[in-house]
DNA sequence: TATCGAATAT
DNA sequence: CATATTCGAT
């Protein structure tokens, strides 16, 4: 059989193969080394396993294969074998003078790819390179199955899944379905039990998941079945079962989304874009401008709505309604989980939610709690600071958003409340809607939110001509919005509200840190050394109950929390919904390709990102770490993302609000002027955000935090009804 | 621990 | 194939 050597094919492999030889017997070791050299391998020798392990750990990639004696003083060869099997993916050959079958069996079942009986001879050593090849090219082995390759034989004979033994870690090592293979299952079972090699599982990386989602989209959610998905994905090491398992989880995830929104998953792009545009409008209203980025805006930068090509707009952050959390320790996620916000202080206080099915752990309201703006909570609100405490969760932010949309942004508004439409609204310009033979107009996708198919036929008589010559497309012409008009009256727009009348109790911990020293209403940050930055508080709170008696910030130790069950359906540990955006990437591509990158005020400005998980303590630390003026401060994260987004861009080492960096794609958030990031602008935004969160002198009902929180609790704090939350007390509205 | 993601069973 | 249960982690 012609062996393929993979990457070595071009070279002289196996010549120069790097072998680490371990034997505490110097004579044996020397003999082994000699043999290795004679085979033109590159041999490294050591007399103790500890050293070998250290060498391997430090530079795994410098070795191709390990030969170890079984009987050694300090560390048994089997132990070494085990550790190598666990930590790295190297072929290991055991050798000993003991030719007992039992010992050899132990070696092989513990993951050794070969077992040599001393005295080792040249012919034994000559062929060991095959183990390396096999290890590196797992798919070769399926072809090898049944081949009479001598080195193969030994390995395969003890294992039903010889074709997969020793596969790289991301590959399945064995599979029960192979039971029906016909060969000796009992023996295999034993091997499984004895095997000390890490059991390999498919790890769904973001990339894999993206491919998966693409495949699902390609097939259509309803038609997507594991087998077809697998075919499209073309991942040779995965089984249909792997896909099925993931699909199961993915469907549950989609279900959570639709439960949350009342929309089917494919309706999301519309909603999303709508939110985005509302945000844009809001920014425009408040600031009278859009932030166009000369560095990144393309030629048709006059289209202020076409900014779907930012990661934030794509949903990696920001515009997605923020989430409440199911409290638990953080873990990585593909975004398909119920939980979020790692390290919540409440994690110990909650129990596992009801499990209707083990893969669908539907969140129980009890496991969720709302919190305030980024890194803050009621405690922070109470003293007017926006500092971190241990509270973190997003559902307040969510409600906050909704309130703001309602009161400020016209989320539930009629079309005529979108004044910006007069120049750049949702209406399609007539000359961009080619008339069809049937008298209808084909609106370009970029003008309408959900035209996954590249356009929509808008009957002319349903598109009232606007003063600018555009047509206002009614939502019912937009395919995905079957149950609501795009510019619909409020009652037709399915905004999800939390059930504020149902308040399960949730334990809340008081903040564990108090980094602040308070001077007047300005907070200083002692941890920051010489840093002169301070955080101006802007608003005292009406929530007196949240003050500690001595005036320091204190959160409620127990309070009533609105039932936010509806909001708890998706969350990620970072407050981001990573895969969500990715999933939309495909459907959105039509829009994106016809879009212009526009830097708006970042998500911080609006309500959407308030629930960012980035603790503001951390943020402040980073933000106000003042670097030298000559280089990028290492404390600034995401430098690389900046520079990759803006090649050649000089980033001054100023205080960079981390949260902005985290808050989305730089395309979407950085005010970029003349190829430099405008520091002042960032701080302006930051200040504005802070003010936005905490101002008290806004128009009535326009979304001061107190207004909103009061609203959440159905309680008129403004009337001075007094504290409702106190330490150890239950809040009764 | 509780509870995840993936594997496996039904 | 869909759904439920189990498994192996952390």
What's the maximum distance between 2 C-alpha atoms anywhere in chain A?
Answer: 96
Please give the nucleotide, over all strands, whose C1' is closest to the CA of residue A225. Answer: C1
> Can you give the distance from the CA of residue A86 to the C1' of nucleotide B8 in angstroms?
23
Give the distance, in angstroms, between residue A341 CA and nucleotide B2 C1'.
16
On the question of pLDDT at A305 being above 70, the answer is no
Q: Which of A94, A120, A137 is the last residue of a domain?
A: A137
**Quick one: pLDDT band at residue A21, thresholds 50, 70, 90?**
very high
Q: How far: A375 CA to C9 C1' (Å)?
A: 30
Number of H helices, E strands in chain A: 23, 18
**pLDDT per position as a tens digit, A486-523:** 322 222 222 222 222 222 222 122 222 222 222 222 32
Residue recorded with tokens 């393309």: A298
Query: What is the spatial distance, in angstroms and rounded to an integer, between the CA atom of A331 and the C1' atom of C6?
Result: 21
Q: At what angle do helices A101-109 and A185-194 cross, to 10 degrees?
A: 70
Q: Which residue, among A167, A235, A159, has the nearest Cα to A200 in the 3D structure?
A: A167
For the record, the structure tokens of A292 come out as: 């166009």
Report chain B positions within 7 A of protein CB atoms. 2-9
pLDDT of the residue at A209: 72
Q: A135 and A89 in contact (C-beta within 8 Å)?
A: yes
Half-sphere exposure of A731 (CA within 13 A, CB side): 32
Question: Between the ranges A46-50, A299-303, A460-464, A642-646, where is the mean pLDDT highest?
Answer: A46-50
Burial class (CB in 10 A: 0-12, 13-18, 19+), A193: exposed
Residue A68 lies in a domain: yes
Residue after which a domain boundary falls, among A263, A279, A295: A263
The nucleotide minimizing the C1' distance to residue A246's CA is B6
Question: pLDDT tens-digit profile of A346-399?
Answer: 221 122 221 211 122 222 222 222 222 222 222 332 222 222 222 223 333 333
Domain boundary residue among A137, A155, A185? A137
- Other CB atoms within a 10 A radius of the CB of residue A294 amount to 11
* Residue A638 domain flag: no
Mean pLDDT for chain A?
Answer: 41
**Residue percentage of chain A with pLDDT more than 70:** 22
Residue A729, beta-bridge partner list: none
pLDDT above 90: percentage of residues in chain A = 1
Q: What's the rounded Cα separation, in Å, for the pair A109 and A115?
A: 11
Which three-class secondary structure state does DSSP give residue A8? helix
Tokens encoding A383: 């003293």
Higher pLDDT, A644 or A325: A644
Same domain, A112 and A207: no
Nucleotide nearest to A243 (CA to C1'): B6
CATH code, domain carrying A252: 1.10.10.60
Q: Is residue A343 part of a domain?
A: no
- Give the whole-angstrom CA distance, residue A304 versus residue A283: 11
Which residues sit close to strand C, CB under 7 Å?
A 198-199, 225-228, 240, 244-245, 247-248, 251, 357-360
The answer to whether residues A481 and A270 touch, using CB atoms and an 8 Å cutoff, is yes
Q: Tell me, in Å, how far CA of A505 is from C1' of B2? A: 20
**Tens-digit pLDDT profile for residues A238-284:** 888 888 888 887 776 666 555 544 555 554 433 433 333 333 333 33
A26 and A113 share one domain: yes
Instruction: List the A182 CA – C2 C1' distance (angstroms).
Output: 28
Taking the C1' atom of C8, which residue's CA lies nearest? A199
Report the distance from CA of residue A191 to the C1' of nucleotide B9 in Å, as an integer. 21
Q: Are A507 and A349 in contact (CB under 8 A)?
A: yes
Q: Is the pLDDT of residue A44 over 80?
A: yes
Residue A209, nucleotide of least CA–C1' distance: B5
Are A129 and A213 part of one and the same domain? no
User: What is the span of the domain harbouring residue A106?
Assistant: 13-137
- For residue A137, the Cα-to-chain-centroid distance in whole angstroms is 31
Contacts of A297 (CB under 8 A, 6+ apart): A596, A597, A598, A599
Residue A396 counted as domain residue: no
Contact A599, A306 (CB under 8 A): no
CB contact at 8 A, A217 and A583: yes
| Residues 6+ positions from A181 with CB-CB distance below 8 Å | A160
Q: Any residues with CB less than 8 A from the CB of A513 and at least 6 apart, and which?
A: A388, A389, A390, A617
Give CA separation, A160 vs A31, A187, A189, A335, A706, in Å. 35, 8, 9, 36, 67
Among residues A656, A649, A650, the alpha carbon closest in space to that of A685 is found at: A656
Radius of gyration of chain A (CA): 31
- Same domain flag for A17 and A100: yes
Question: Does A82 reside within a domain?
Answer: yes
Question: Residue A206 — very low, low, confident or very high, per pLDDT cuts 50/70/90?
Answer: low
Q: Is residue A50 predicted with pLDDT exceeding 80?
A: yes
- Mean pLDDT, range A575-595, rounded to an integer: 26
Q: Is A285 exposed, middle or buried (0-12, 13-18, 19+ CB in 10 A)?
A: middle
In a domain, A214, yes or no: yes
Give per-residue burial for A305-330: e unless 16+ CB within 10 Å, then b: bbbbbbbbbbbbbbbbbbbbbbbbeb
Please state the rounded mean pLDDT for residues A172-193: 31
Nearest nucleotide by C1' position to the A224 CA atom: C1
Strand B contacting residues by CB (7 Å): A 172, 174-176, 201-204, 241-242, 244-246, 248-249, 326, 328, 331, 333-334, 336-339, 350-353, 355, 358-359, 361, 367
Q: How far is the CA of A379 from the C1' of C5 (A)?
A: 43
Residue A505 sits at φ, ψ, to 5 deg, of -85, 140
Residue nearest to nucleotide B3 (CA to C1'): A352
What is the distance between the alpha carbons of residues A65 and A17, in angstroms, rounded to a whole number? Answer: 8
Six token digits for residue A697: 């002198």
Sign of CA dihedral A467, A468, A474, A477: positive
What is the spatial distance, in angstroms and rounded to an integer, between the CA atom of A575 and the C1' atom of B2?
A: 22
Q: How many separate domains does chain A show?
A: 2
The answer to whether position A63 is within a domain reads yes
The half-sphere exposure of A294 on its side-chain side, counting CA atoms within 13 A, is 7
Average of pLDDT values for A113-130?
Answer: 83
d(CA A641, CA A662): 10
Tokens of A583: 């999933």
Q: Which of A98, A100, A80, A101 is nearest to A90 (CA)?
A: A80
Instruction: Write down the pTM of the prediction.
Output: 0.28
What is the spatial distance, in angstroms and rounded to an integer, between the CA atom of A252 and the C1' atom of B9? 20
| Nearest Cα residue to A209 out of A264, A236, A247, A171 | A247
Residue A75 has what pLDDT?
74
Cα angle: A15, vertex A16, A18; to 5 degrees: 130
Q: Determine the 3-state secondary structure of A398 from DSSP.
A: helix
Query: What are the tens digits of pLDDT across the range A217-232?
Result: 778 777 888 888 888 8
Protein CA A351 to sugar C1' B2 (Å)? 7
Rounded mean pLDDT, A684-694: 37
- Two tokens, residue A432: 């961009």
Q: Inter-axis angle of helices A240-261 and A226-233, to 10 degrees?
A: 110
Residue pair A713/A562 in contact by the 8 Å Cβ criterion: yes
Domain assignment of residue A674, yes or no: no
- List protein-proximal bases of chain C (any atom < 7 A from a CB): 1-9
Q: Is the same domain home to A18 and A133?
A: yes
Gap from A178 CA to B10 C1', in Å? 18
A360 by DSSP, 3-state: which?
strand
Residue A78, pLDDT above cutoff 50: yes
Contact A504, A344 (CB under 8 A): no
Lookup result for tokens 């334990």: A507
Task: Kindly state whether residues A223 and A117 are assigned to the same domain.
Answer: no
Question: What CATH number has the domain bearing residue A72?
Answer: 3.40.50.2300
Instruction: Please indicate whether residue A527 or residue A440 has the higher confidence score (pLDDT).
Output: A440
Edge-to-edge strand ranges of the sheet holding A517-519? A517-519, A522-524, A535-536
Considering only CA atoms, name the residue closest to the C1' of nucleotide B8.
A176
CA distance linking residue A471 with residue A473, whole number of Å? 6
Query: Residue A172: how many CA atoms within 13 Å on its side-chain side?
Result: 17
Q: Which two tokens stand for residue A178?
A: 């192979």
The residue among A275 and A209 whose pLDDT is bigger is A209
Residue matched to tokens 């149902």: A502
More confident call, A173 vs A241 = A241
Nucleotide nearest to A338 (CA to C1'): B4
Nucleotide nearest A241 (Cα, C1'):
B7
């Amino acid at each position: 059989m012609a062996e393929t050597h993979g990457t070595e094919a071009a070279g002289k492999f196996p010549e120069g193969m790097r072998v680490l030889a371990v034997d505490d017997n110097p004579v044996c070791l020397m003999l082994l080394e000699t043999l290795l050299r004679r085979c033109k391998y590159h041999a490294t020798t050591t007399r103790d396993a500890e050293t070998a392990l250290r060498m391997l750990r430090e530079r795994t990639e410098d070795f191709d294969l390990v030969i170890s004696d079984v009987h050694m003083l300090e560390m048994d060869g089997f132990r070494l074998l085990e550790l190598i099997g666990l930590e790295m993916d190297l072929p290991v050959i055991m050798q000993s003078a003991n030719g007992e079958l039992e010992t050899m069996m132990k070696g092989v079942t513990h993951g050794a790819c070969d077992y040599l009986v001393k005295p080792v001879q040249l012919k034994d050593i000559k062929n060991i390179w095959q183990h390396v090849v096999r290890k590196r090219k797992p798919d070769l082995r399926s072809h090898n199955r049944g081949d009479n390759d001598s080195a193969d034989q030994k390995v395969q004979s003890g294992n039903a899944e010889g074709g997969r033994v020793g596969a790289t870690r991301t590959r399945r090592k064995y599979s029960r379905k192979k039971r029906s293979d016909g060969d000796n299952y009992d023996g295999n079972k034993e091997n499984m039990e004895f095997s000390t090699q890490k059991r390999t599982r498919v790890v769904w990386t973001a990339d894999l998941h993206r491919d998966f989602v693409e495949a699902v989209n390609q097939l259509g959610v309803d038609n997507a079945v594991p087998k077809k998905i697998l075919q499209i994905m073309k991942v040779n090491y995965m089984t249909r079962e792997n896909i099925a398992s993931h699909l199961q989880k993915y469907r549950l995830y989609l279900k959570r989304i639709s439960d949350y929104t009342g929309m089917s998953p494919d309706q999301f792009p519309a909603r999303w874009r709508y939110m985005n545009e509302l945000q844009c409008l809001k920014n425009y209203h408040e600031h009278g401008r859009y932030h166009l980025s000369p560095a990144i805006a393309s030629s048709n930068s006059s289209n202020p709505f076409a900014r779907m090509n930012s990661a934030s707009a794509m949903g990696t952050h920001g515009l997605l309604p923020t989430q409440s959390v199911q409290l638990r320790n953080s873990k990585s996620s593909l975004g398909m989980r119920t939980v979020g916000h790692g390290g919540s202080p409440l994690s110990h206080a909650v129990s596992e939610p009801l499990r209707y099915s083990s893969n669908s752990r539907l969140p129980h309201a009890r496991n969720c709690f709302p919190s305030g703006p980024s890194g803050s909570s009621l405690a922070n609100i109470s003293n007017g600071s926006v500092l971190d405490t241990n509270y973190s969760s997003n559902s307040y932010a969510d409600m906050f958003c909704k309130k703001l949309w309602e009161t400020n942004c016209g989320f539930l508004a009629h079309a005529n409340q979108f004044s910006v439409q007069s120049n750049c609204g949702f209406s399609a310009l007539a000359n961009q809607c080619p008339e069809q033979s049937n008298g209808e107009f084909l609106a370009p996708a970029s003008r309408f939110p959900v035209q996954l198919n590249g356009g929509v036929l808008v009957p002319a008589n349903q598109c009232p001509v606007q003063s600018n010559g555009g047509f206002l497309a009614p939502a019912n012409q937009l395919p995905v919005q079957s149950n609501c008009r795009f510019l619909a009256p409020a009652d037709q727009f399915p905004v999800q509200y939390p059930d504020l009348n149902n308040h399960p109790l949730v334990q809340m911990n008081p903040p564990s840190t108090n980094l602040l020293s308070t001077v007047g209403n300005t907070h200083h940050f002692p941890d920051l050394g010489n840093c002169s930055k301070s955080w101006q508080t802007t608003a005292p709170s009406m929530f007196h109950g949240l003050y500690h008696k001595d005036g320091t910030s204190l959160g409620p130790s127990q309070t009533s929390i609105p039932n936010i069950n509806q909001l708890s359906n998706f969350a990620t540990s970072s407050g981001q919904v990573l895969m969500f955006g990715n999933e939309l990437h495909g459907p959105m591509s039509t829009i994106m390709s016809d879009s212009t990158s526009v830097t708006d005020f970042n998500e911080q400005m609006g309500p959407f990102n308030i629930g960012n998980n980035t603790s503001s303590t951390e943020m402040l630390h980073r933000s106000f770490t003042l670097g030298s003026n000559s280089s990028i401060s290492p404390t600034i994260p995401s430098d690389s993302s900046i520079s990759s987004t803006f090649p050649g861009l000089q980033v001054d080492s100023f205080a960079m609000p981390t949260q902005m960096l985290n808050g989305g794609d730089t395309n979407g958030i950085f005010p970029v002027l003349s190829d430099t990031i405008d520091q002042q602008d960032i701080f302006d935004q930051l200040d504005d955000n802070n003010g936005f969160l905490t101002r008290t002198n806004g128009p009535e009902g326009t979304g001061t935090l107190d207004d909103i929180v009061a609203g959440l609790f159905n309680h008129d704090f403004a009337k001075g009804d007094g504290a409702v939350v106190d330490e150890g007390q239950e809040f009764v509205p």
